[in-house]
């Protein structure tokens, strides 16, 4: 009986690892700002500078400009043109995408600006986890990623999102790619924290207090 229980526990552990590995955090940065193209509704007019993905152990950065090597961090550098093939492979393997506000920002831009066809399936079949969308639905308040990771993980974003296009235009490409990659790692860690504990922490500006927000993702 003890051996059988050990085998069952091992099987559950393998399933948990498999489930986690099927979740791929994704974040992108753009070369231009929304006000330059008439608002967020014109997603086809955004120009993507870099995209990063992270599965909890390793990841990829997609960028066409020369940047410093990320190999030491377990991250592979690839051209932006490779992204559509990798996302398509991930979908065919039963994987899902993870991001903070990914349904309203990242995925529509990948679909409309980069013409990545498989994004239609990710959106239509809800093959994604949007931590921002879930928290708004469950708690009626929008929480910024920097708020959540500070309170839940005692960690921080490398910069404000509005700074990325400015730095890109100044030629600081590696800095922007590092920021994008760090955001995917933060989102993944936040998702894992909530999955393990059943809640995440944040400061509510509406209630003016720190809160534990129940999550089931």
Cα–Cα–Cα angle for 15, 16, 18, nearest 5°?
60
The pTM for the full model equals 0.89
Task: Indicate the CATH number of 22-214 among 3.40.1110.10, 3.60.130.10, 3.40.50.2300, 3.30.420.10.
Answer: 3.30.420.10
pLDDT at 185 over 70: yes
Q: Pick from 157, 151, 139: which is nearest to 193 by CA?
A: 151
65: confidence class by pLDDT, cuts 50, 70, 90:
very high
* Contact of 213 with 202, CB cutoff 8 Å: yes
2 burial class (0-12, 13-18, 19+ CB within 10 angstroms)? exposed
Q: How do residues 144-179 score in pLDDT, each as one tens digit? A: 999 999 999 999 999 999 999 999 999 999 999 999
Query: Quick one: average pLDDT of 87-114?
Result: 97
Query: Tokens for 27?
Result: 């974040």
pLDDT tops 50 at residue 13: no
Segment 120-139 shows an average pLDDT of 97
State the pLDDT at residue 72.
66
Least confident of 12-21, 59-68, 81-90, 102-111: 12-21
Please check the confidence at residue 1 and state whether its pLDDT lies above 50.
Answer: no
Range scoring the smallest mean pLDDT among 35-44, 84-93, 106-115, 151-160: 35-44
Of residues 96, 154, 149, 104, the one with CA closest to residue 125 = 96
């Amino acid at each position: 009986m003890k051996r059988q229980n050990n085998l069952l526990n091992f099987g559950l552990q393998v399933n948990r690892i498999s489930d986690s590995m099927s979740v791929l955090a994704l974040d992108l940065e753009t070369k231009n700002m929304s006000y330059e193209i008439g608002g967020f509704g014109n997603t086809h007019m955004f120009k993507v500078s870099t995209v990063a993905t992270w599965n909890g152990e390793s990841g990829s950065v997609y960028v066409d400009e020369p940047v410093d090597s990320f190999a030491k961090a377990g991250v592979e550098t690839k051209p932006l043109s490779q992204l559509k093939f990798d996302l398509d492979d991930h979908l065919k393997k039963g994987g899902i995408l993870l991001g903070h506000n990914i349904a309203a920002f990242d995925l529509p831009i990948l679909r409309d600006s980069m013409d990545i066809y498989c994004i239609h399936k990710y959106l239509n079949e809800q093959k994604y986890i949007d931590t921002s969308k879930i928290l708004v639905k469950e708690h009626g308040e929008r929480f910024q990623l920097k708020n959540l990771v500070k309170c839940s993980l005692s960690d921080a974003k490398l910069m404000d999102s509005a700074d990325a296009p400015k730095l890109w235009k100044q030629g600081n490409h590696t800095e922007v790619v590092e920021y994008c990659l760090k955001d995917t790692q933060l989102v993944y860690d936040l998702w894992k924290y909530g999955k393990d504990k059943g809640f995440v922490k944040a400061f509510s500006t509406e209630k003016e207090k720190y809160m534990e927000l129940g999550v089931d993702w």
